[in-house]
A and B are shown apart, each in its own frame.
Chain A
Amino acid sequence: MAALAWMVLLALITVISVVIFWGHYWWFPVDISTHGAAMDHQFNLTLMVCAVVFVASQLGLAWFVYKYRDRGDGRKVTYSHGNNALEVTWTTAATIVFVGLNLLGYHVWAQTHFTGASPGALRIEAWGEQFQWYFRYPGPDGQFGTSHSELMNDGTGNYLGLDRVHDSVAKDDIVTATLAIPANREVELVLRSKDVNHSFYCRELRVHQDLVPGMEIPIHFTASDEALKNGEAGTPGRYEIVCTQLCGLGHYKMRAFLQVMTEADFEKWLQQQAAMQ
């Protein structure tokens, strides 16, 4: 009885688990980056491999428990201490599948992480603090002014500690609460933190990277046309950015928005922001 219950139950768990994955009832959101498709492909490939192993081993387990249950008939067991040929076979097979899968994903990682941004990329800084995001654009001079810790003061609105009086490079820096980017243009985002670790995560952009105090961590990506066609809450180009590294009591509300625009809209937006500094 227990053996039958076991077999049916485990088979059910296996089928339901797979069907929910298969039906994409809970799934990744739309991909708005140029690099995300390769990541999603690697995920799908891994899912295929895992699905085969998962179904085979769970159903195998379910079947064995049922088939070899003690029926009280005193049947002799198969006396065996193992089989070296089998050990070698499944060790080799597991090595090839696991390491092979990993190597197939190499180029996906290398493409986004082993090279820097191209020289013409739009440079933006993303700053995290408990529990806010700030983004800085270098302005017409293309350079960021120096951030002075001792000048940082949210109360006075100098979030990033810029000395706009004495530092000529800082004068035209634009600090915003929204990350606006043009579609189809590479962006280099430099991540910095004022206080503790944070993490920049935008699901649709397929970008996830920690901000570490004392480090400047550059990442790069390009938003595709797809970004303009979709958007959060019916606003085209708008996507949520959340913090995913536990940063204190307000961690759950540390978020900002990414706004993807056409190049022309972006330039207009930048000018508006510059006027508001």
Chain B
Amino acid sequence: MADAHAEAIHVHHEPTGFIRKYIFSLDHKVIGKQYYFLALFSVFVGMILSVLMRWHLVWPDAHIPGLHLLSAVGAPHDQMTPEYYLSLMTMHATLMVFFVLTTAPQAGFGNYILPIQVGAEDMAFPTLNMLSFWTTFLGLAVLVAAFFVADGPPLSGWTGYATLSALGSVAGPGEGTGQNLWIISIALFCVGSLMGALNFIATLLELRTRGMKLMRLPLTCWAWFITAILALLSFAVLFSAGILLMLDRVGGTSFFIPAGLVVNDKLITGHSGGSPLLWQHLFWFFGHPEVYIAILPGMGITSHVLSTFSRKPIFGYRAMAYSMMAIGFLSFCVWGHHMFVSGMSPYTGFAFSVMTMAIGVPSAIKTFNWLGTLWGGRLRLTTAMLFAIGFVSLFVTGGLSGLFLAQPPVDVNLHAGYFVVGHFHMVMGVAAIFGMFAGTFFWFPKMFGRMMNETLGKIHFWITFIGVYCIFMPMHYLGLAGNIRRYSRFTEVNFLNTPHIIDLHMFMSIAAFITAAAQFIFLFNLFWSMFKGEEASQNPWEATTLEWTIPSPPPFDNFGGRHAVVHHGPYEFGVPGAAKDYIMQDSPEEVPAG
């Protein structure tokens, strides 16, 4: 304590010019918000695309008012063409996976909160931080531009499988300029993510304040740190794969294109020796860690919020941290489970299957520990807490369907069907988004200095929670019945063109419309609360970590030139004999029970 008082205080003042303060800001808090709003824009565009898709799936010939304004070719007379459906699907997935699931939980919340939680003034490399955001922004701009190119937006799916994605416009609409822009967008995103990942790793390792030992880090920080390592290793591979794909398209190389292809009766010359499977290996080497990049921050936020609002220490802190490390490591050993029927060696497939079942173990450990955290607690059911509990429910549901898909003999009959769509939407889609909602309601007071409206928050939660089960649970049933994915019309397939299948799709579409509409409650709550919400105190949730030791919103240099000194672990709630039911991390108070 004496040291802390003796220390010189250097207050850093924020820049006064509008551009340096709000646009090209070096402040991690501004950049965190920029990422958050970029993801917010993307998630609403992505959601509207999904509404259009659900509309088309149940009424394939419907006139969707105004759709021709988006694309006169893709929706003549407001009717969606089958290829335009595939474009919307590709854009929906690309926006959601990259610009939402990878952006908000990690780059958004991580940027804003991680430096404060470790007691730092800013990220390790503020300029790099600014560059990483603006590179990501450029990536989004390029992707959005792909909507408006003459030969149609890309339609190869977010997985962009070669050779469809490699051959150019001969392979059909969307394979020309649209596909080029898709690759450029993804490559830019990779560069932005790589810069961000380096910054996160350096900040966590180098800028922790005194007393912030690794085992005193909030689990959110562990999650962001491990996610950054995954991003560093996987985006580098996707970036390289993207360059190779572009070279095949425009540079005459043959990484993914074999000899002798005939497309639309046209012999493809000038290529030989390429392997379409190589693309799948490179893509999924990135793609599987990517789903953990999307979900790990949600796990961190859920752990953090569950402990705070259970007024209880997290159950099994070390098990939680180690299981995230195990998930991170194993996530690089399982990519082949996307390729059981791809033509890859079936022996390799079985090896990948064993590793995939193994990754279920740390996931189960996390679930047990979340239940253990609730056990014996005193649960404050705030909106943030409801979303965190919802995360656990969705993670269990979505995770368990993974056990089917991880086994090659079971996957054979479910692959490329709605069972898979239900699985990944439940777990990496909706569960991850519940993590973001939990994070938003939890940190909004810190980020904006005001409270969000709890009543609106709860209405939004209940509709969303019921809604997502109504949308995504039936997908599993449809998958069993052989309902295949990426089909713009089910009427063309006899076994799908039955009321038994179509009626369930109708139910899901209506649930999707209601759930999507409910998201505007959230949007309203967010912006209304930003300006009209009740003013937030420094620590409205009676939480323990360092961001709650500084004003809401924090000053430019976070700690006002002080250096916080950490004395406790992050989750000292309900300590017997303590003065209050929580002990702040920087409190010099002894923990009576030890």
Residues of A contacting B484 in the complex (Cβ-Cβ under 8 angstroms): 201, 242, 244
A196 touches B477 (CB 8 A): no
- Asked whether, in the complex, the Cβ of B365 is within 8 Å of the Cβ of A87, the reply is yes
Q: Are A233 and B575 CB-contacts (below 8 A) given A2-B458, A199-B416?
A: no
The A-contacting residues of B in range 262-303, CB under 8 angstroms, are 262-265, 267, 274-277
Least CB distance, A97 to chain B, in whole angstroms: 9
Verify B480–A101 contact, CB threshold 8 A.
Answer: no
CB atoms of A65 and B493 under 8 A apart? no
- Name the residue of chain A whose CB is nearest to the CB of B161: A197
Report the minimal beta-carbon distance from B494 to chain A, rounded to whole angstroms. Answer: 6
Please judge, given known A-B contacts A3-B381, A194-B261, whether A26 and B410 are in contact too, CB under 8 Å.
Answer: no
| A contact residues around B396 at 8 Å (CB) | 53-54, 57-58, 61
The answer to whether B313 and A68 have CB atoms under 8 Å apart is: no
Given contacts A28-B480, A49-B403, A79-B313, contact A90 B364 (CB under 8 A): yes
Q: Which residues of A contact B409 (CB under 8 A)?
A: 38-39, 42, 105, 108-109, 112
Which residues of A in the span 54-90 have a Cβ within 8 Å of any Cβ on B?
A: 54, 57-58, 60-61, 64-65, 68-70, 75-83, 86-87, 90
Name A220-255 residues within 8 Å CB distance of B.
Answer: 232-233, 240, 242, 244-253, 255
The residue in B261, B314, B379 that gathers the most chain A C-beta atoms within 10 A of its C-beta is B379
Give the size range of A's interface with the partner.
35 or more
Smallest Cβ-Cβ distance to B409: which chain A residue: A108
- B163–A29 contact, CB under 8 A? no
Q: List the A side residues contacting B144 at CB < 8 Å.
A: none
Q: Is the CB of A9 within 8 A of B466?
A: yes
A214 in the interface (beta carbon within 8 A)? yes
Give the interface size bracket for B toward A: 35 or more
Are A246 and B156 within 8 A (Cβ)? yes
* B412 to A, closest residue via Cβ: A208
**Chain A residues whose CB sits within 8 angstroms of the CB of B317 once the complex forms:** 81-82
Say which one of B13-21, B230-238, B245-253, B353-361 lies at the interface with A. B353-361
- Interface status of B157 (Cβ within 8 A of chain A): yes
Residues on A with C-beta less than 8 A from B379 are: 3, 65, 68-70
Query: B573 on the interface (CB 8 Å rule)?
Result: yes
Is there an interface contact between B343 and A212, defined as CB atoms closer than 8 Å?
yes
Smallest CB-CB separation from B363: which chain A residue?
A94
CB neighbours (8 Å) of B267 from chain A are 149-150, 152
- Given A77-B376, A99-B358, A149-B267, are A42 and B480 also a contact pair (CB < 8 Å)? no
Closest to A111 in B: B409
Beyond the given A196-B263, A246-B157, A249-B83, could you list 8 further A-B residue pairs with CB under 8 A, ordered by the A residue number? Answer: A3-B381, A6-B386, A13-B466, A80-B312, A95-B361, A130-B171, A203-B495, A208-B412
